[in-house]
Amino acid sequence: MGLVAVVDATEEYRGQMTALLGAQADMGIVLVSSAQEAFGVLASEKPFVLLLGPSITPEEAVQLAAVAGQGDAPADVIAVTRRASQDTIRTLFRAGVRDVLDQEVPSGDILSAIREAHERVERVRVTLASASECETSNKQPGRVVTVFSTKGGVGKSVTATNLGVALAARNGHRVALVDLDLQFGDVGIMLGLDPDRTIVDAVQAFDRLDQDMLKGCMTSHDSGLDVLLAPSQPEDAEIITTGRIDHVLGLLRSMYDIVVIDTAAALNETVLAALDRSNEVYAVTMMDVASIKNTRISMQKLAQLGYSADLVKLVLNRADSKVWLQLGEVERAVGARVFAKVPSDRVVPRSVNRGVPVVLDAPKSDVAKALASLAEGIARAAEEVKVDVT
Ligand SMILES: Nc1ncnc2c1ncn2[C@@H]1O[C@H](COP(=O)(O)OP(=O)(O)OP(=O)(O)O)[C@@H](O)[C@H]1O
Ligand SMILES: [Mg+2]
């Protein structure tokens, strides 16, 4: 059995737990006297279980749980509390604390909680290890393309759904589309798909999640595209942590040749998880002043965060809209060249309402041709990578 870290400020509690756990021949213990120190121990010792004594505050427990669940060696947190209120208990569970026990419970209960958590963590670590193995060994990882904009309504989902469908309709590529707009994702509506299975199912089965199980969480579109839909209840988004998203994306990359990701109008942890996994980012903007200003700021933020300028490509949606700005002005204002232009067309809102992407609904329209040609570029890049490694 792996290591259990006992975290408490009082020597008395640490002593009690040493007596209890020390009697277990198969258990290793590390004693930690503060939450602060526990962060370091998590990183250096990689304990399987963090047992937080009653002197650790709920705030500290929440922070520790957030860190413990991350990375390639996650740990479970068990909090022992002194008559905590229902509200506190709920907060702790929401934050990812595995078990909350009252100080008064028999020591046998603490032991079995630790053993249960340990078993679970062991399974998770094995799954993580095998997932990263299949990422590196099984096949060349798929190409990840994220559609991004911190402004709402600029056409991210229209772009992502059409790219997904256009890529899937070509022969020879396995293509996945992920709706990472976790609260308000509308990819399912745009593709006319029922949200029977969503990313929530994948995240709930996280302990056991492998390629087969993840495939079972995807919804198939007639084009051949496999879609990982956003939660149907916005509040379900809360359980989807960045670490879990990253794991899901890693698995998808090992299963598909191309993974397209639609994102929310934000630059939050979820979007950063997608950007970190991306080979290409399409920053969608429109020709109005507000969108351009927004795009300039978010491009600057991405640069500050260390993303390379080559990663991000500017897609000008509704490029022919009747506004006063010229293309050159847009490029100067944003500080980047326009990589692709997608015209405005009434067939787009019609296709959105029908739940049939415009590349299928009106393939001869200019807007469908522009989106199909963007997809063509992605497919070519994916093929070049394949050729490079063979
Ligand atoms: N090229 C286009 N021509 C005409 N209408 C378009 C075009 N692109 C997008 N639209 C319209 O704009 C609406 C918003 O597009 P979309 O939902 O893709 O934006 P979004 O950036 O994903 O928004 P959100 O941030 O709210 O998710 C669509 O419903 C569609 O009707
Ligand atoms: Mg959208």
Domain map (residue ranges) of the chain: 3-134, 140-389
Residue 317 CA to ligand 1 centre (angstroms)? 9
Atom of ligand 1 nearest to the CA of 154: 21
Q: In which residue are the tokens 């879990």 written?
A: 244
pLDDT tens for 213-245 read 999 999 999 999 999 999 998 888 888 888 889
Residue whose Cα lies nearest atom 8 of ligand 1: it is: 155
pLDDT tens for 338-355 read 999 999 999 999 999 999
pLDDT tens for 94-131 read 899 999 999 999 999 999 999 999 888 877 776 676 56
Residue whose Cα lies nearest atom 28 of ligand 1: it is: 349
pLDDT of res. 207: 67
What is this structure's pTM?
0.71
3-class DSSP state of 143? strand
| CATH code for the structural domain at 140-389 | 3.40.50.300
Question: For residues 277 and 247, what is the distance between their CA atoms, to the nearest angstrom?
Answer: 10
Q: Which ligand sits closest to the CA of 156?
A: 1
163, 145 contact by CB (below 8 A): yes
What's 282's DSSP letter?
Answer: E
Residue 373 CA to ligand 1 centre (angstroms)? 19
132 has pLDDT over 90: no
Residue 267 CA to ligand 2 centre (angstroms)? 14
Residue 195 CA to ligand 2 centre (angstroms)? 16
389 has pLDDT over 80: no
The correct CATH number of 3-134 out of 3.40.50.2300, 3.40.50.720, 3.30.70.260, 3.40.50.300 is: 3.40.50.2300
Residue whose Cα lies nearest atom 30 of ligand 1: it is: 349
**DSSP-H helix ranges across the chain:** 11-22, 35-45, 58-68, 86-94, 107-137, 156-169, 187-190, 199-204, 211-216, 242-255, 269-276, 289-304, 327-334, 347-354, 358-361, 366-389
What's the one-letter identity of residue 388?
Answer: D
Query: What residues does ligand 1 touch, defined as CB less than 6 Å away?
Result: 149, 152-158, 181, 265, 317-318, 342, 344-345, 348-349, 352, 367
Question: For residues 193 and 306, what is the distance between their CA atoms, to the nearest angstrom?
Answer: 37
H/E element holding 230? none
Q: How confident is residue 279, by pLDDT bands cut at 50, 70 and 90?
A: very high
Residue whose Cα lies nearest atom 16 of ligand 1: it is: 155
Residue 312 CA to ligand 2 centre (angstroms)? 18
Paired sense of beta strands 226-228 and 219-220, if any = antiparallel
What's 85's DSSP letter?
Answer: -
| Residues 6 or more apart in contact with residue 183 via CB below 8 angstroms | 230, 231, 234, 237, 264
CATH fold match for the domains 3-134 and 140-389: yes
Q: How confident is residue 172, by pLDDT bands cut at 50, 70 and 90?
A: confident
3-class DSSP state of 360? helix
Atom of ligand 1 nearest to the CA of 344: 3
Q: Which ligand sits closest to the CA of 266?
A: 1
